[in-house]
Amino acid sequence: MAETAYDTDNIFAKILRGEIPSHRIYEDEAVVAFMDVMPQGPGHTLVVPKVPSRNLLDADPVTFGPLFTVVQKVAVAVRRAFNADGVTVMQFNEPASGQTVYHLHVHVIPRFDGIALKPHTGAMEKPEVLAENAGRIRAALAS
Ligand code: 5GP
């Protein structure tokens, strides 16, 4: 089992540095949250710590307090924003688990009774839909 180093040019590192645009819904000194461009459901949000690690396996444990504080905030907000029945929180570690972007992140996805998730990294959502959904979540976070 080879250890793989953190790649500073991964897509979320670029988003965190502002080199690639994203629909941000939340930011504090430790954590950023933005819309997933290939959502598995409306309102699918990614919560990302600013400090670099590939995933949960190599992260400094001090990362998790601030990270999961924001995961909870976002979960409550997406539930309210989309009037969801529930919220799925997911996190993948290394390719065998389904991880495709190697900067630690947590998926927060509103869920509705009887409606399955769309495939992981399936279709790209229209930017205007992501912008509208981001606006709904920002409003819920502010209320
Ligand atoms: P993972 O498979 O690593 O758990 O999740 C990576 C997530 O990032 C996927 O759900 C995928 O749709 C999303 N994603 C991939 N590229 C981009 C991008 O450029 N911007 C945003 N906002 N999300 C991305």
DSSP per-residue codes, 11-72 = HHHHHHTTSS---EEEE-SSEEEEE-SS-SSTT-EEEEESS--SSTTTS-GGGHHHHHHHHH
22 Cβ closer than 6 Å to some ligand 1 atom: yes
* pLDDT for the residue 2: 60
Active site residues: 105
Q: What is the pairing mode between strands 45-49 and 31-35? A: antiparallel
This prediction has a pTM of 0.97
Q: Is residue 110 part of a domain?
A: yes
45 CA from centroid of ligand 1 (Å)? 10
* pLDDT for the residue 1: 62
CATH of the domain at 54: 3.30.428.10
- One digit per residue, the tens of pLDDT, for the chain of length 143 reads 666 899 999 999 999 999 999 999 999 999 999 999 999 999 999 999 999 999 999 999 999 999 999 999 999 999 999 999 999 999 999 999 999 999 999 999 999 999 999 999 899 999 999 999 999 999 999 99
Domain count, the chain: 1
Q: Is residue 6 part of a domain?
A: no
The token duo for 129 is 């839909």
Q: Is residue 3 part of a domain?
A: no
Q: Is residue 1 part of a domain?
A: no
Atom of ligand 1 nearest to the CA of 102: 3
Residue whose CA lies nearest to ligand 1 atom number 18: 37
112 CA from centroid of ligand 1 (Å)? 22
